[in-house]
A and B are shown apart, each in its own frame.
Chain A
Amino acid sequence: MAKEFWRWKEYNWKDDSINWQNGSIITAGVDVGSVSSQAVVLVDGELFAFSNMRTGSNSPMSAQNAMNWALENTGMTLQNIHYTVGTGYGRVNVPFANKTITEIACHARGANKMYGSSIRTLLDMGGQDCKAISCDEKGKVTNFLMNDKCAAGTGRGMEVFADLLSLPIEEIGDLSFQIEVEPEPVSSTCVIFAKSEATGLLRAGWPKNKVLAAYSSAMAHRVVSLLERIEIKEDFAITGGIAKNSGVVKRLEKELGIKALKTTYDTQIAGAFGAALFAKALVEKERK
């Protein structure tokens, strides 16, 4: 089988310093996206464990798999979790969820925790959509815009390019800066046409990294036009898989003239993190 250059690393993580048995509220958030799924487990609102994996063709199974993987080697089972919120494109397919909440609300809530309450504009660059979200100091959504019709400006579009150029997706951000001069962005919006354009550039002798740079800046430009329509306010942060792609992030920051906030958390778990925080609030309300 041919090497799959688009394939990013799936993994799970847990905080060994937290003894969950001492926790009073244990909640989970499961974000079933069109491309990736995450399960996050919180103990009293603090990140305890999570998993990040590719969504399979079966959503309920993907939700279950993500949850099982997050709980792996934690000694915790589904029965120990007081409340679970499902979110994302496939949120209706989280069989063990107590409630579902839209991913827009969850991303804003999660980002508020991950980046701090000063965040006012959030850009979520997901697998098959891209959302610009305005939020207040509580992480409540005040406005949003999204593109979910077109692959330009989404992670899936970047995966297509990684495959076309035979470059591993986790390295393409850095590779896109290994160039002599920054090229003009690819002119086609449509990923299918951009692919033909890129093939032409390769044929004309462009090195792969230069083609990558041209595509990354086209993607950044595309997203900037979405952000401009929502009126971008600082602080600004990016979540989703593309937040890990420095080739897009740095070009985006340059075009906006604004730096995005950094976080030590995995940028792909914002939705699931927010869902688990909502779950915690719901448990607190019930117990009152």
Chain B
Amino acid sequence: MISAGIDVGAKNIKIVLVRDNRIIAKDKVLSGFEAKENTNSLFEKILTDNGLKKEDISSITSTGSGRKAVDFATVSVTDVTAASKGVTTKFPSAKTVIDVGAEEGRGIRCDDKGKVVDFSINEKCAAGSGAFVEAMSRALEIPIEEFGPMSLQSDKEIPMNAQCAVFAESEVVSLLHAKTDKKDIAKAICDAIAARISSMVRKVGFEKDIAVIGGVAYNVGFLRSIRSNLESEVLVPEFPEFVTAYGAALITE
């Protein structure tokens, strides 16, 4: 029995195929402006690439902010439910999930069984989301992949005044004008996002173990800052951005 989880996010569409709780295939594509068409073609692609037919998939679960774009799903769940399912299956000890996606940051607390107890979402503001890191990497003129590693080279603590991504862009430009080292600015930005996410997680009351998922979990600088802010180790899965799709695939009718 193979089940599929489709996570239609603000930036990327992620599909995971699961058999016996194990990921057998995964793929992603940019959501773009035609999320529906892009979901359909990605689903066809993952089937073709793995020599499967639609009949081979017993259950299709959609999730994510754009989950309505998946009109062929058999089940639909919120991203909070899917994220906690995915995390607690992978890490049974996890009680808190930090999920930082392209346009949303989430803090989720779950019980021993992986059931959601409380959560908090920031979806109104780019501060504390992947969009913030992207805007900052543009302002610093460094590729997003190099952002985290570069910030690790710094131990300086430069406070960022701006919370708003638009204002933070101007602040970064001012710091560059003042000849501040790029690695120190990158560190300051990681600290800023981590502070924002941490305060959200504290609101729902966090309990160890803590897992971090979502695309921003690839940023090693952010991970260091969040560890230091929460004064705790964090668990990071191998493919953090696919965990929500994985969790969705585990939720069948």
A contact set with B: CB distance below 8 Å: 34, 57-58, 128, 149-151, 156-157, 160, 189-193, 196, 199-200, 203-204
Contact = CB atoms under 8 A, between A and B. Distances in A.
A151 to B, nearest CB: 4
A63 B131 CA distance: 34
Closest 8 CB pairs of A and B: A151-B166, A192-B126, A57-B177, A203-B33, A191-B166, A151-B164, A192-B165, A190-B125
A160 B131 CA distance: 15
Given A57-B173, A200-B33, A203-B33, A128 B167 contact: yes
Interface in B167-184: 167, 170, 173-174, 177-178
A189 B125 contact: yes
B166 A192 contact: yes
B124 interface: yes
B252 interface: no
14 contacts: A150-B164, A151-B166, A156-B167, A156-B170, A189-B125, A190-B126, A191-B164, A191-B166, A192-B126, A192-B132, A192-B165, A192-B166, A193-B103, A196-B10
Contacts of B33: 199-200, 203-204
Interface in B109-140: 124-126, 131-132, 135
A200 B164 CA distance: 22
Nearest to A204: B33
Interface of B: 10, 33, 103, 124-126, 131-132, 135, 163-167, 170, 173-174, 177-178
Contacts of A128: 167, 170
Contacts, number: 49
Contacts of B135: 192
Given A57-B173, A190-B124, A190-B125, A160 B166 contact: yes
A46 B243 CA distance: 67
A87 to B, nearest CB: 19
A65 B80 CA distance: 53
Given A190-B126, A193-B131, 7 more contacts: A34-B170, A57-B178, A190-B125, A192-B126, A192-B132, A192-B135, A199-B33
B163 A149 contact: yes
A196 B9 CA distance: 14
Contacts of B164: 149-151, 190-191
A214 B166 CA distance: 19
B197 to A, nearest CB: 16
B238 to A, nearest CB: 29
B174 A57 contact: yes
A156 B124 CA distance: 18
A163 to B, nearest CB: 11
B126 A156 contact: no
A64 B10 CA distance: 46
Nearest to B103: A193
A193 B164 CA distance: 12
A249 B35 CA distance: 36
Nearest to A147: B164
Given A150-B164, A151-B166, A192 B173 contact: no
Contacts of B174: 57
Nearest to B132: A192
A199 to B, nearest CB: 8
Contacts of B103: 193, 196
Nearest to A202: B33
Contacts of A156: 166-167, 170
A57 to B, nearest CB: 4
Contacts of A196: 10, 103, 131
A138 B163 CA distance: 36
Residue with the greatest number of chain B CB neighbours at <10 A, chosen from A191, A199, A203: A191
A199 B177 CA distance: 30
Contacts of B178: 57
